[in-house]
Amino acid sequence: CSNNSLVNIAHVYRGTFVHSTYNTALEILEDRLLGVDADGKIAFIESGREVDSLSQKWGFEASAVTHLGQHEFFMPGMVDTHIHASQYSFAGTALDMPLLQWLKKYTFPEEARFKDLGFASNVYTHVVKRTLRNGTTTACYFATIHTDASLLLGQIANDFGQRALVGKVCMDRNSFLREYKETLEESQQETTRFIGELLRKRYPLVRPVVTPRFAPSCSAMLLDHLGEIAQNNHLHIQSHISETKEEVKLVKELFPDCSSYTDVYHKHNLLTDKTVMAHGCHLTDEELKLFRETGASIAHCPNSNISLCSGMLDVRRVLNKEVKLGLGTDVAGGYSPSMLDAVRKTLATSKALTILNPEYQTLTFEEVFRLATLGGSQALSLDEQTGNFEVGKDFDALRVNTSVVGGPIDLIIHGEEPKVLLEKFLNLGDDRNIVEVYVAGRRVVPFVEKP
Ligand code: GUN
Ligand code: FE
């Protein structure tokens, strides 16, 4: 009785699956059978006890099913909604000054080096491989102002099978550096070239994202133009907003006709339901309302917010205002490229806010798990394709083995339940526990070395 004969099942996995839904922050599905079709999409997720009837219905061999071990589970791949691929090389250093000085002293000089394609290729290969190994199946990248190096980042993400949004950075003022600036015309022309060339590659999982660095680096004319390009091509948009108080003050001076920082982007048509803005630590209620109305989202980057002493985003307030929110590492303002670190710093920031106000409703680990997976996909408007184990979505998944020895403690002491194992993994695990990574059904970790 094969009513699914047109669907070709490529892989079937049996074991525990943990994920989030729109209604439930953490759903634990024990002894499930999950089938992935030849296009990498989830074809079914059913009770493992039905293996015989399912194998008949879907036409797969029961002997070909991959069985997870007792201490293993699948979780959705993590979504890094904000990472500077070009800052990876100095991650873990240079965190001794506030944002605007940090940009001038450390960041722009390092980004200038990506003019050299050999240099770019080396750094970008490290970033893509390492973030995949850390369990980042989707990354929203800032590259640099250099078009060819940014295209190379897209190619490398495609080569290693990572789902990625890639942005050529635009900045036509206030770079403070002769060797790292572009004119208005260059920025416009090169953005058009970047988008055209990247789209022509037809990489299945890699998309361009329109990337004004942030309002202080962009003239009003450039912002206007970028808003237009994004609108005409239905593209994603990313930038920074309201990260530090000093920056908010600067934006007020630079754009005296705008009522707020958010209004600057809104006036230039840069706030859409495909926009993700990093930080937002100091947004007003009115600004958050604009986010909700436009469908724009926030990338919460807690490591960076603490490391550069920028501020503490009140995630609970953002969620209560029904603004979409995902997590970001913000390398190198954030020193860690691991989304597990972003999870931990999100929880720590929420607890710091609770110390300041004991009435505060602290985020739970289940909620933060959702932000790292489904929440990130929603923030990037990719949740029709990815974010959890819903039938029809791409299979983006991490195979987590909590019995691997590594990290500061043994995760398993006495036969813990899956929920406990997930919590321990999120708080204490690392990439050694991520034994396999899948993007769109394809196993991308361990890496298959090219012949
Ligand atoms: N604002 C503008 N550029 C940057 C950057 O590279 N990192 C961070 N954290 N904030 C920014
Ligand atoms: Fe950033």
Note the pLDDT tens digit of each residue in 295-322.
999 999 999 999 999 999 999 999 999 9
Closest ligand to the CA of 251: 1
| Residue 343: partners with Cβ closer than 8 Å, 6 or more residues away | 327, 365, 368, 369, 371, 372, 426
d(CA 332, CA 313): 18
**pTM of this prediction?**
0.98
pLDDT mean over 173-201: 95
pLDDT of 47 reads 97
> From ligand 1's centre to the CA of 103, what distance in Å?
7
CB 386 within 8 A of CB 396: yes
pLDDT mean over 344-366: 98
pLDDT of 4 reads 56
Among 80, 83, 84, name the best residue to mutate to test ligand 1's pocket (greatest count of ligand atoms within 8 A of Cβ).
Answer: 84
pLDDT of 388 reads 98
pLDDT of 1 reads 44
d(CA 184, CA 98): 27
d(CA 398, CA 133): 10
Lowest mean pLDDT among 16-25, 108-117, 403-412: 403-412
pLDDT band (50, 70, 90) for residue 84 = very high
User: Which run of H or of E encompasses 157?
Assistant: helix 147-160
Q: Whose CA is nearest to atom 7 of ligand 1?
A: 333
Closest ligand to the CA of 180: 1
pLDDT tens digits for 118-175?
999 999 999 999 999 999 999 999 999 999 999 999 999 999 999 999 999 999 999 8
**Which tokens sit at 238?**
């990313």
Q: Whose CA is nearest to atom 9 of ligand 1?
A: 333
> From ligand 2's centre to the CA of 417, what distance in Å?
37
Q: What SS3 state is found at 174?
A: coil
Question: Which among 408, 366, 369 has a CA at the least distance from the CA of 79?
Answer: 369
Strand-strand pairing, 78-84 and 163-167? unpaired
Among 81, 86, 90, 99, name the best residue to mutate to test ligand 1's pocket (greatest count of ligand atoms within 8 A of Cβ).
Answer: 99
Distance of CA 426 to the CA centre of its chain: 16
d(CA 210, CA 165): 10
Q: Which amino acid is at 139?
A: A
**Which tokens sit at 415?**
């036969």
Given a cut of 70, is residue 199 above it in pLDDT?
yes
Q: Which atom of ligand 1 lies at the shortest distance from residue 247's CA?
A: 1
Alpha carbons within 13 angstroms on the beta-carbon side of residue 22 total 7
Q: Which atom of ligand 1 lies at the shortest distance from residue 304's CA?
A: 9
Given a cut of 80, is residue 450 above it in pLDDT?
no
Euclidean distance between the first and the last CA atom of the chain, given in angstroms as a whole number: 43
Q: Whose CA is nearest to atom 8 of ligand 1?
A: 333
Given a cut of 90, is residue 63 above it in pLDDT?
yes
Burial class (CB in 10 A: 0-12, 13-18, 19+), 108: buried
Given a cut of 70, is residue 62 above it in pLDDT?
yes
pLDDT tens digits for 85-117?
999 999 999 999 999 999 999 999 999 999 999
d(CA 444, CA 434): 12
Q: Which amino acid is at 21?
A: T
Residues paired with 46 in a beta bridge: 33
Q: What are phi and psi of 80, to 5 degrees?
A: -90, 105
pLDDT band (50, 70, 90) for residue 198 = very high
pLDDT mean over 260-274: 98
CA distances from 361 to 22, 303, 343, 347 (A): 20, 21, 17, 12
DSSP code of residue 41: B
pLDDT tens digits for 329-339?
999 999 999 99
> From ligand 1's centre to the CA of 176, what distance in Å?
14
Closest ligand to the CA of 309: 1
Closest ligand to the CA of 307: 1
Torsion angle in degrees (nearest 10) through CA of 334, 336, 341, 343: 40
CB 143 within 8 A of CB 85: yes
Q: Whose CA is nearest to atom 3 of ligand 1?
A: 213
> From ligand 2's centre to the CA of 111, what distance in Å?
13
Ligand 1 neighbours, Cβ below 6 Å, are: 84, 99, 103, 107, 213-214, 240, 243, 304, 330, 333
CB 149 within 8 A of CB 120: yes
Given a cut of 70, is residue 396 above it in pLDDT?
yes
DSSP code of residue 95: -
Closest ligand to the CA of 244: 1
> From ligand 1's centre to the CA of 444, what distance in Å?
30
User: Which run of H or of E encompasses 7?
Assistant: none
Closest ligand to the CA of 217: 1
pLDDT of 178 reads 87
How many secondary structure helices (H) and strands (E) does the chain include?
A: 16, 17
Among 213, 308, 309, 345, name the best residue to mutate to test ligand 1's pocket (greatest count of ligand atoms within 8 A of Cβ).
Answer: 213
pLDDT band (50, 70, 90) for residue 407 = confident
pLDDT of 276 reads 99
pLDDT of 137 reads 99
Q: Which atom of ligand 1 lies at the shortest distance from residue 330's CA?
A: 9
Q: Which amino acid is at 372?
A: A
* % of residues, the chain, pLDDT over 90: 94
> From ligand 1's centre to the CA of 83, what distance in Å?
10
> From ligand 1's centre to the CA of 324, what distance in Å?
21
Q: Which amino acid is at 238?
A: Q
pLDDT mean over 61-80: 97
Say which residue the tokens 């991650």 belong to: 91
Strand-strand pairing, 169-170 and 206-212? parallel
d(CA 399, CA 401): 7
Among 246, 330, 331, name the best residue to mutate to test ligand 1's pocket (greatest count of ligand atoms within 8 A of Cβ).
Answer: 330
Residues paired with 102 in a beta bridge: none
Sign of the Cα pseudo-torsion (380, 182, 192, 148, in order): negative
CB 63 within 8 A of CB 403: no
**Which tokens sit at 448?**
């298959």
Q: Which atom of ligand 1 lies at the shortest distance from residue 243's CA?
A: 10
Q: Which amino acid is at 68?
A: L
> From ligand 2's centre to the CA of 303, what distance in Å?
11
- DSSP state letters, 316-384: HHHHHTT-EEEE---BTTBS---HHHHHHHHHHHHHHHHHH-TTS-PPPHHHHHHIIIIIHHHHTT-TT
Given a cut of 90, is residue 409 above it in pLDDT?
no
pLDDT mean over 28-38: 98
